[in-house]
């Protein structure tokens, strides 16, 4: 779905996290970043994916990764998601789809024969220099950390 590929420069963005703090990719230069886009907080598949990253947070952090989740949900909804599932990473709110559009993960989807516009679950692994080193389209929610580390 996305127009971005491995080797591309990751588009720079600034957004607000679940606590209302500014988060900027530019300020994370020098760190490896897992930037994962997901449709909606508190839904079964999104929760499974977030909990997999939570359960593997220590090993990902040990390998130098910073995790950032992005969805169109509000900061209040992100805060509830974080609190309910004890998520130890940043969740950015993107209600206006500015980051989502920058990364090209919004588009046509279909379910039960119905077509609609929505967010395509996609993960970008970004190097310390700001280059995309891996794009995971349709990540396996139950084994997402393993996909990232592979």
Kindly state the DSSP code that residue 39 receives in the 8-state scheme.
S
Asked if residue 90 lies in contact with residue 68, where contact means CB atoms within 8 angstroms, the answer is yes
d(CA 150, CA 137): 14
Strand partners, 107: 118
Instruction: With CA atoms as reference, report the closest residue to 69 among 45, 44, 96, 87.
Output: 87
Please give the span between the terminal C-alpha atoms of the chain, in angstroms, as a whole number: 22
Catalytic, 51? Answer no
23, 34, 35, 46: the active-site residue: 46
- Active site amino acids: 46
């Amino acid at each position: 779905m996305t127009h971005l590929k491995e080797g591309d420069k990751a588009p720079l963005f600034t957004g607000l996290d679940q606590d209302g703090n500014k988060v900027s990719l530019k300020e994370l230069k020098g760190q490896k970043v897992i930037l994962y886009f997901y449709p909606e907080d508190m839904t079964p598949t999104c929760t499974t994916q977030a909990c997999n990253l939570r359960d593997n947070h220590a090993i990902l952090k040990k390998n130098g990764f910073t995790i950032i989740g992005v969805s169109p949900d509000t900061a209040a909804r992100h805060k509830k998601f974080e609190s309910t599932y004890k998520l130890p990473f940043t969740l950015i709110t993107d209600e206006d789809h500015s980051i989502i559009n920058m990364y090209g993960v919004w588009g046509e989807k279909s379910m039960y024969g119905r077509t609609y516009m929505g967010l395509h679950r996609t993960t970008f692994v970004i190097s310390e220099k700001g280059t995309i080193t891996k794009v995971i389209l349709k990540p396996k929610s139950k084994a997402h950390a393993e996909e990232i580390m592979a």
